[in-house]
Structure 1
Amino acid sequence: MAEVLFFHLERQPLEAVLPVLVQRSLDRDWRVVIQGGSRERLEFLDSQLWTFADDSFLPHGMAGGDHDAEQPAILTEGTDNPNGANVRILVDRAVPPDLSPYLRAVFIFDGHDPDAVAEAREQWKAQKTAGHELTYWQQNEGGGWDKKA
């Protein structure tokens, strides 16, 4: 079973949080697949991953290229795992595949979007029923994370 984390965004946007989570995974020598809801949004996140810090970049690619299997992190709309990742990050209300093959799965949702919050609650129930180990993190006023469950 996977460790499934839910990140409730309230103070920072996805494009500020995603690079940090991807970097932490890569620092652990984990491969990452980022599943999003639309190609346009993933293209925006792709540009953010290249430019989020002046002194570094995150090696990654968009799914559908010739070297998908070699990418440490890859962005996709699909439920496939083109780079053999052991971490799956789900953004923009992406519907997950079976998470059992993953070491870790991360749902990131916008706390200012009632539909996203409702869908995150449904995913919490579904992933709990599937037997995964769940944790819930909410942004605090300082922009850090508090473990709520």
Structure 2
Amino acid sequence: MRTEQARVERIDFYILASAKPQAAELFACRLAEKAYAQDHRIFIRTRSRAQAESLDELLWTFRQSSFLPHGLVGGEDEPILLGDTVPAEVTHDLLINLSDELPPHWERFRRLAEVVEPEPALLAQARERFRFYRRHGYQPISHNLGSRS
């Protein structure tokens, strides 16, 4: 059961249809764009610093008409932050997890979005996280994106 300190209102798992290079990153860009338009502050957790830097570039170029103010952890406090670690002082309300691990400080976010690539090992790790959240009193929602990613 959830503790009184927990703030999480919703946990979504997005199962991508494609394991193509940058499929997860492109989906994260689209999700961040939608969330930013709804006045969310977003933290995107990546697998590595290199992935965070790549995503930093991709957020500027994934769509010509898009402008998403963002930056890397350790820089300015932007509405969208990227990093392979989640600092305890982050106050964003949506966590987009591109990592294959349970994000640290996950319970401090109002919403979690787990982006899962359709590879057997990554799907198995995502199932473990799904079960973890259920054991802690949450009801994650799974979205099989079919050919949309």
Q: TM-score, normalised by structure 2?
A: 0.85
Tell me how far apart the structure 1 counterparts of residues 110 and 143 of structure 2 sit (CA, whole Å).
18
Q: Which residue of 2 aligns with 1:35?
A: 45
Tell me how far apart the structure 1 counterparts of residues 104 and 11 of structure 2 sit (CA, whole Å).
13
Query: Unmatched 5+ residue regions in structure 2?
Result: 1-7
Q: Name whichever of 83-92 and 9-18 sits farther off.
A: 9-18
Aligned in 2, Cα 1:134/1:26: closer, same or farther, shift over 3 Å?
same
Is 1:53 matched up with 2:60?
no
Tell me how far apart the structure 2 counterparts of residues 81 and 49 of structure 1 sit (CA, whole Å).
24
User: Identical aligned pairs, as a percentage?
Assistant: 27
Write out the 4+ residue segments of structure 1 that deviate beyond 3 Å after TM superposition. Answer: none
Q: Which residue of 1 aligns with 2:32?
A: 22
What code does the residue aligned with 1:77 have?
A: D
Is 1:132 matched up with 2:138?
yes
Q: Which residue of 1 aligns with 2:107?
A: 100
Tell me how far apart the structure 1 counterparts of residues 105 and 73 of structure 2 sit (CA, whole Å).
19
Asked whether the 8 Å contact 1:89–1:105 carries over to 2, the reply is yes
From 122, 136, 140, the counterpart of 1:116: 122
Matched residue SS, 1:100:
helix
Aligned in 2, Cα 1:35/1:81: closer, same or farther, shift over 3 Å?
farther
Query: Unmatched 5+ residue regions in structure 1?
Result: 145-149
Instruction: Give the drift of 1:92.
Output: 3.2
Q: CA RMSD for the aligned pairs?
A: 1.7
Aligned in 2, Cα 1:82/1:56: closer, same or farther, shift over 3 Å?
farther
Tell me how far apart the structure 2 counterparts of residues 62 and 94 of structure 1 sit (CA, whole Å).
20
Asked whether the 8 Å contact 2:16–2:146 carries over to 1, the reply is no
Tell me how far apart the structure 1 counterparts of residues 106 and 9 of structure 2 sit (CA, whole Å).
6
Tell me how far apart the structure 2 counterparts of residues 53 and 133 of structure 1 sit (CA, whole Å).
33
* CA deviation string 1:90-121 (max 9, x = no partner): 0031431243322100110111x211100000
Instruction: Give the drift of 1:81.
Output: 5.1
What code does the residue aligned with 2:146 have?
A: N
